[in-house]
Structures are given as C-alpha cells and as structure tokens.
Structure 1
Amino acid sequence: MTNSMFRQDNSSSFFYRFVDLLILVVTLLSCLIAYSQSLTKDYLLILLAYLLCYAFVAESVQLYRSWRVGRFGRMLFLLIAVHTLCFLALLSTLFFLKQGASFSRVVLVGWYGLSILCLISWRVMAKEVKTLRRKKGLSMQRVAIIGYTDTGRRLHQQMQEHIELGFDCVGFFDDRALNRLGEGAAPLIKGSVESAVMMAQQGRIQKLYICLPMLAEKRIADIIQRLGDSTVDVLMIPDFLLKNLMHARIGSVGEVDTLSVFESPVYGIKEFYKRAFDFLFSAAVLLLISPLMLTIAAAIKATSAGPVFFRQQRYGLDGKPINVLKFRSMRVMENGAKVTQATKDDPRITPIGAFLRRTSLDELPQFINVLLGDMSVVGPRPHASAHNEEYRKQVDYYMLRHKVRPGITGWAQINGWRGETDTLDKMAMRVKYDLEYIRQWSLWLDIKIIVLTLFKGFSGKNAY
C-alpha cells in the first residue's frame, strides 16, 4: 500500500472525528438556544466530559477505521450504540452524583436526539455525494489487474459492484492461454502482463494490482522491477497474505519498512483500552459475585478434602507461564508433564465439582487473574502446559493463540467449541476460532462475546 493511500485514509478519518465532535458541540448549543438556556459552567463541564467519553469509546470500538464496502449499515448501528452508551453513562453519572436538577431534561434529551440524527445524516449524505461523483466519472482511477486468479476475480467483482470505490478497471492481464483460464475469461482479458507494464509506463493507468500466487515469486519480482520505471501505484494481493496474515500492519525499523505477519492486534493505545476494560469489569464482577464465591468455597470444603482453589500452570501472553485459578472440582489435581482431560462421568470429579464444571462456575476465580493482569475477560481459553506442548506439534499456528492474553470466555466457546477436545479435529476447530478472534479483535467484539456468553457460554454438551 502506498504512502499516499495512508495519508488519504488518515486525513479522512481525522475529518470524520472532527465533524462528529463539531456536531456534538453545535447540537448542544442549538438545544440550549431553542429552550432559552444559557451555556453555564455546568453545561460546559458535561460537554467536555461527553466529548472525551465519546472519543474514547469510538476509538475503542474502531468506529473510524476504514469500513469495508457493504458494511455501511453496521457502521451506522455502531455509531448509534456508541452515542447511546455515552449518553446513558452521562445520565447515570448525573444521577449518582445527584446533579440532575442542575440540567434541563428537555435540553439533554433534545441534544441526544438531534445529535444522533445529525451524526447519521451527514454520513449518509457523504456516502451519497461520493457515489454520485463516481457515477459522473469524477475522481475515478483507472486500474488494471495482473493475474486472472480467484483473488483477482474477487477484487474485480468488488470494484464492479461498488462504484463508490472510484475504480475504473480496464481488465485483467495474464500470460496464460485463454483455454487455461476457464469459461468467461475471454471478455475480461485485455492482454499479457507485458501489456499491463507498458500501460503503466505510459501513464494510462493509476493503479496496478498484482494478484499472483506466492509461488510466482520470481515473476512478481520481475514485474515490480520493471514497474519501477513508472509512476503507477503498485499493490500486491497474493493469496498467501489473504489466508495467513494474523494482523497485517506496516511498520519500520529505522528507514526499513516492515510488514507484520504474526503480530497481536492489541498494541499501543488499544492495549490500554483492553486492559482498562478488563480491570474495571473484573473488579465490578468480583464485587458482585463475592457472596456466591464464598458459598461455593464453603461447599467445596464441606464435601471433599483439599484446598478450595486449584492452581494450574498454563501459558499466558507470549507463551509465558501463569498460574490460573479455578475452584477445585476434582479429588486428584494434575499439573505435571501429563494431564488427562476431564471426560464424561470422570471418577475424579467431585459431586459439587460436576455441577461447577457444567455451569462454568469453577471458572469464577479467574476474574482474580484478570484483575492481576495475567488473563483477560475475553480471549483464547488457556490450556494446560502439557496440552500446549502436545498440540503445538500437531495443529498449524497453534501457538499464535498466545499472542493475546488468555480469556475466561472466548469466540471459540460461544461457537460451541467448549470443554473436552478428545480429537485433533476438535482442537483444530478451537484454534481456528481463536485465531479468527485475534484477527478481528476490537473492544466491541469483546463486549459482544461477553453478552453471548450469558446466553450460551456457560454450558455445553462437551463440558464435563
């Protein structure tokens, strides 16, 4: 991706942030004027607090990221959710501080309604203006695609279906014979790779997408070298990157550019967001469930000999060992080089332990691990160290699930991959969902998983 594209994305997202905050300010002032209220120090204070809250939550759920085509409706839904959450937080704060009498309820409700209407309306208008300009042929970029591959065809389809992207694709360029490209290829093939290179050198296209498999490394290198004698933007979309990148991010070491292949998406300010959420959420939960935890502890001590907690060494962030807390549910505690997973009607499980495991109540002490920073509320479930050493040799990309902190609940668990993994296929599916979570991580996804866990994450047919 070119530097110009990065500058364009950054300036666009900055513009969206600026307009949103401006709308929040203007709509409050408008409501105050409409209801003959003045901008007092109290109103100014809640405005500043609201702007900070809105900016924080919006960044946490990546509201200003580059949204994929076809997800405009989802972006509007997320916008409404962010605004509503912040407004409810504002009302709750005023209620608990007993400051509600200082503000007009009509002004506050009017501010909420008017601002959300304006926030949505300006996005819809911006989208329509952009689409209209594209239909008139304004700001269109002529592009070409090298490689009539699955990736290339998907790219071409997106360009054709979504004119608002602003791409005028002249066609495909491929050196293979037409009878090797399949039915329907002939009308789309406009020439050889040499023809595409010449078009680029002559300035007849602005962007050139290389959609060749990684096996064609030498061919790709030759094309890129020849395109150095042009001013065209060259973008590569090899199949390898589409399938195996965990979190693609451009970085640099000094003046040398780098592309991350396996890297956690939780870095920088995002790490602060996730850690802040984990700390506040786990502290609140521990406060609420402390009576339940004391009851469970008493039941364990009364029904079997041994400690209340079971400490099991597992892999944490970056594969570093951590001690995970659970309520003891077995008579025998295994924590060595060989650990046997619990199975149905396992004789090692105590009567109270069977209930705790079925309902996931044995996991509650892990909120202490979250509070201490060893775990996260949401993330890949930690496995016993012995299981990690066993499966890392059998399941591709297994250890990449440790690029984030392990969680009490996770994407795999709410999708049914919870409990015993007695076959390699089951473990592979769990890892698949874990890696999918890491690739797609956002604070909004964490909240979604927590909500879904309340409905289908506490029990399952594989939980023993």
Structure 2
Amino acid sequence: MSTSDSVAPHLYAEPFETSRAERQADPDKLLDGFLCACEIAADLLVCISGMVSAFWLQHYFHLGGESPVRVQQSAALFLSVAFFTVFFLYRDGMYRGGGLLQIRTTENVLRASVQAMLIMFVFACLFGLQSATGTLLIAIALVPVLLIMGKYVFMLSTRHLRRQNNVVLYGVGDAVKRILSALSHIHDPSLNPVLIIDDDRPHAGESISQIRHWQDRLVQTRRGPISAALLHSCQCNTLVVALPNSTPDKVHAAIQAANQAGANVAFLYGTELGRQPFTKTVNLDGLSLVPLYKPGTNRCSAVVKRAFDLAGASLSLLLLSPLQILIVILVKLDSPGPAIFCQERVGYRGKHFKMYKFRSMHTNATVYDVSPVTSDDPRITRIGRLLRKTSLDELPQLVNVLLGHMSLVGPRPEMPFITHSYTAEQRLRLQVIPGITGLWQLSAARAFPIHENIQHDFYYIRNRTFFMDIAILIHTLFFALNNGI
C-alpha cells in the first residue's frame, strides 16, 4: 500500500466536460445527443433481454409457482422494469457521462436495477402474480450484471466516436504529476493531455512519461507564463489549474487566458482556493470534494452496514478457510517466523487496535516503517510477493471486521507514527470506521501515501451508500485479480 509534496489535488467525480456545453459546435451536440439516445436504447434492450432470460430460467427450473403465463402481463413486466431502470439511471445523471473509474457507474446500475425490481415486485404481490415474483427474484441478480457488462461494451465501442478533449495542465510539481497519473488510468481516450505548463521548471521542452492502457506517450512540459496564444496553439479544450498556495493574480490570469482561448476551466484546489467564489471542483477520476466536510451519522445506515459487514466477513472466512490454511502452510515453509503479522493501527476516532495480516516480509524487517512500494523490496519474502500482488495477505483482516475494528469498505487505517503528524483536515478521515478496501486503493493515487490523498476518503464519507460499498467490493475483486492492491 503505498511520495510527494503534501498538496493533495482534490480530484474525483463525474464527467470531465461539465460547463462547456454552451461552446460546443452543433455537430458535437448532435453527436453527443445521438450517443446518449443509443446508450438509452442499449440499456432498454439489455434490461428486456435480462428479464426474458430470467423468465426463461424461472420456468425452466420451475421456480416461483406454476401459475398460467400471460403474454401481455409478461411483456408489461419486462417493459416496466426496463423503463424504471433507465429512468432511475437518467435521474442519477448516468447519461451525462459516467464516473471515470466506473465505480459510480456500477453503484448507480445496482441501485437503479434493485429499485425498479422492488417496485415491480410490490405490484406483482398486490395482483397475485406468482410467476412474476419468481422472475423478478432471478432478474434482481441477473439484470445488474448484464447492464454493467453492456455499459462497458458500449463504452469500448463508442469511445473513438467522441470528440477529442485536449487537456492542458497548469501547475507545479507533484500536483500536476498526479493529475497526469489519474488520466493515465482512466478508460476515456477523449481526454487527451497535450501540454504541461509549469512555472517552476527551469528548462522548457522536458517530457513527462504517461503510460495509458492503449498507448505509451510523452507529454511535453513548458515553462510559463500561461497565455491564450499558447492554449490556442495546442487546441486546448480544458485547462486544469493546479496552483496550491498561489496568488489570486496568477489564478485570474489563467482564467482569463482560458476564456480568451474558449477553453473550459477546472481547478485542483487547496483549502485556500476553496473559499474563492470562482473555484469549481475538478471532474476527474470519480470524485467531487468539499475539503473540510465533517461527516454526520445515520443510525439506520450504520446498522445496515454493520449487518452487511458481519454477514460478508463470516461467509468469506467460511468459504476461504481452505485457502487460508494453505497460505499459513506456505508462509511457514517459505521463511521462519509466525504466519500471522500483527500491527497496531489507528481506527475510528483515533482508537488503536491490532490489525492482522498474513506475514509477507521477513521477521527482521522493522514493524513500523513505510510500506514497500515495489515488489523487489528486499524485505518481502518470496511467497509474500504473491500474497501482496493478489492482496491475499489482507484476508485475516476479516477477523478485524468481525471484532468491529474495521469494515469491509472504508478509509484505510494508518500506522500511529503517521497519524501523530496529521493536520486537523487529515484527522477528519478518522471519523468513520476504517476498511479493508476503499476508493484510494482503486485509484491512480494508490502509488502515493494515503494521508496525502485524503480526497478519496472525504468523497467516500460524503457519498457512502450501501450500493457504493457493493460497487467498491466488486471493483476490488477484479482489481486484485489483475493488479493487486
């Protein structure tokens, strides 16, 4: 789990192109409208296909009673589920652009599907449609999976049709590098970083490597000042300003240059810029953030979350017990020492607790030190490399979940020597129960320390829901299988 200045860019939320609609050319508007209509039609078709499949499965396996089937009732049921699902997706803004990490897409699909099914389930019960209730029980698991897959296929098939959004990054140091890192991990090729303007760089013409999943490329770096002519020369559509602790004159100069070039402006802001009336959140990598948000408590949500944690942790421990026994044996055979590693961490409201992991480092390694950031770290054992790559070393933390020290999803708990130097802002992340996985682990910022990327935790605290937790767990599973956490 794993370095940079303490300025954490406040990234993370929905689509990147927010306020540029008025300046788009008519062909772009028509294309966006056409693609939106196609996506809605595709979702309707997927929902109906899912309902037909659930109907067939229900009758093939004789589930939910043997009441006579009426074609009109079945057709009305299928169309109603599809309509309500797409309506809820539209209400949640899914057709104005999805979250770049797809977590919000997954969350909204789960929520919309379940809400639509529950509405129709109530109608089916009221009118005594036993066959329909069986179909809906199957569809509540089948339709969300098909919708998520369908949206991913639609995104892949239409990504090259969307207009190119040339992005210029204007800022200093690691803040700019982190924006570039976030852009390198998203699935939208229309976001194209073309230039970095950095006043602190002594030499112009340097390049910063950017590796994206479909291509390797370099982004040129130029020294400031920023100007409209410079933005025009690279056909800039969006200017991202990352100027922590900057003077208002410099920020206003950037805004003026962008306005003259006809480009949209977005800010990665620190607390001091957050108070300015012109400041807007950056729509990048899934998060929209108010830095000094203080979380409230919802007793009903807390009870549901705790019940889900207990059920999920218990079931996981039971199903994965053979695998955990095998890991214990392999760890003991690989290097001398205990199989379980115990370390003090800081949890809810600053309380310390013992966190458990499968040991992945040699016993002579310092217990409280910066975590390894590369697999060739000499502290890591041979089996430890595999455990860390697949995140299997985290499995014993399911016991922490049962004990109430941790949740399945939440901010990652830090070591005491790190929290001792927390600022007042950073301490706000301790107002919720820490988790095994969360948004930080699934973001490009996981290459940097947790306490320097608290924007992910703040976003989760502000927006956490049951369906978001489910979405994060789903993405964590696939992420761990591909890259590890």
TM-score w.r.t. the length of structure 1 is 0.46
